[in-house]
Amino acid sequence: MQWIADQDKIRTLAGHNGLMEIFSSGAISGMELRRYSDGEAICSVGDRLEHMFILVEGRLKIHTLLPEREIAAGPFCPADVGHWRCGAAAPISGQK
């Protein structure tokens, strides 16, 4: 994971993604911009998260492993407020 310390870019991304209408300027000033590599885990089962993630570029897959199969949701793409840009959700792995 790479931290990108660029408050101007954060404000620009917040504006382009409708976040200025949802969050206060103080909350936006407290946001961090991070870049993850392909396949890199953002969090794992059991992690205690004290923040939320907002996907502004790329794709995200959420999955868990069960004894005999993987259960996945997604892929998720950057969202406009209120609707998805990337279309319908993909089926869950293992479903027909």
Are 14 and 25 spatial neighbours (Cβ–Cβ below 8 Å)? no
- AA letter at 85: R
Looking at the structure, do residues 35 and 69 belong to the same domain, yes or no? no
Question: Is the pLDDT at 94 greater than 70, yes or no?
Answer: no
Given this model, what pLDDT does residue 7 score? 94
Mean pLDDT value across the chain: 79
Q: Count of domains in the chain?
A: 2
Pair 6, 32 in one domain? yes
Question: What digits encode the pLDDT tens for the residues 40-77?
Answer: 998 888 899 888 888 888 888 888 878 888 887 777 77
The verdict on residue 74 lying in a domain is yes
Same domain, 61 and 28: no
Q: Is residue 49 part of a domain?
A: no
Together in a domain, 28 and 64:
no
**Angstrom distance (rounded) from CA 34 to CA 81:** 20
Tell me: do 35 and 63 sit in the same domain. no
* Rounded average pLDDT over 28-37: 92
Residues 29 and 64 in one domain: no
- For 50, which DSSP code? S
**Cα–Cα distance between 20 and 12 in angstroms, integer?**
10
Q: Is residue 47 part of a domain?
A: no
pLDDT band with cut points at 50, 70 and 90 for residue 35: very high
61 and 33 both lie in a single domain: no
- Would the pLDDT of 79 be above 60? no
Domain hosting 95: range is 55-96
Backbone angles phi, psi at 83, to 5 degrees: -160, 160
Q: Is the pLDDT of residue 96 over 50?
A: no
| 50 belongs to a structural domain | no
Residue, of 4 and 70, whose pLDDT is higher: 4
Looking at residue 51, its pLDDT comes to 85
